[in-house]
Amino acid sequence: MKQEKQPRVVVIGGGTGMPVLLRGLKNLPIHLTALVTVADDGGSTGRLRSEMAIPAPGDIRNVIAALSDAEPMLVELFQHRFVAGNGLSGHSMGNLLLAAMTSITGDFYTGIKEISRVLNVKGKILPISNESMSLHAKMVDGSIISGESNIPLSNKQIERVFLSPQPVEPLPNAIRAIKKADLIVISPGSLYTSILPNLIIPKIDVAIKESKGKVIYVCNVMTQAGETTDYTASDHVKAISNHIGEGCVGGIVVHNEPIKRSVRAVYAEENAEPVIYDTERLLDMGLEIIEGDIINHSQSTLRHDTNKIAKLLYSIMKTN
């Protein structure tokens, strides 16, 4: 009997949304590749980036932990953050290991591959670029804010984001993975500071347009102050289209159940509210809408439910 070919799935993103997505996908019969942002500049990541001139390791570290099948204690050690110690305070063990492995191998991507092997990672993890880069935002009022961590703090409306130094070179394997993908998933996360920094790298946008795979955006459930205040679901997609061109995104995954009042109250303190799911405008944009109850209701903070979202994405693959 002929064995069915496993679909190739590429997930693009960073921040807290991406690992949640990957934890469920890693258990499916798919070829999984994660393309991860390296534009972070806060905390331990920022310090290592400036001191060692390496791409930001923080988002990569979280993705390695999400895709690892190692002993839980080993993953816990990898994610451990030092709270005391001159020079060590605030650093994460995983960030230090990634920096050390980059130093040993002479290459950030090779360092990731070696640590992925040690931690028995399922799937491939690729930095979107092997270079250190900085993120900048041009605001609607014309001002420029530099630094991924500073952009949301300005509390101004963002017009577009861009990278320096130019041109940023994507990892060739990242381009190949996109072109071969059957499904490209743009993960939830901070739209302008975790998601778009990947998509605006030259050649990445072209590879997404040229890929025969379907491109699905998993929309955020809540808005984010300083980035997507008052954004509807279609506004999220429009921001992506404004940066990489119309028609790149073919479908959107949205949460379609009410959010508990107690949870909304917690988010309201951060000036965040549920993302309005504006069906008509999404359909006018030519998007396929994939909807469902896709959040984890057992947590006080809103997170996509890793297994629900994985099943939903897998059902998309089965129907294509």
Q: pLDDT tens-digit profile of 42-86? A: 666 667 766 777 788 888 999 999 999 988 888 888 888 888 767
Q: Top-level CATH class of 8-37+128-319?
A: alpha beta
Preceding peptide of 127 cis, ω within 30°? no
Nearest to 90 by CA among 47, 53, 57: 47
**Tens of pLDDT along 159-215?**
999 998 888 899 999 999 999 999 999 999 999 999 999 999 999 999 999 998 999
Write b or e for each residue in 148-186: b if 16 or more Cβ atoms lie within 10 A of its Cβ, otherwise e.
bebbbeeeeebeebbbeeeebebbeebbebbeebbbbbb
The backbone torsions φ and ψ at residue 82, rounded to the nearest 5 degrees and listed phi first, read -70, 135
132 pLDDT tier (thresholds 50, 70, 90): confident
For position 1, what pLDDT does the model report? Answer: 40
All structural domains of the chain with their residue ranges? 8-37+128-319, 42-123
The verdict on pTM exceeding 0.85 is yes
Q: Which amino acid is at 300?
A: S
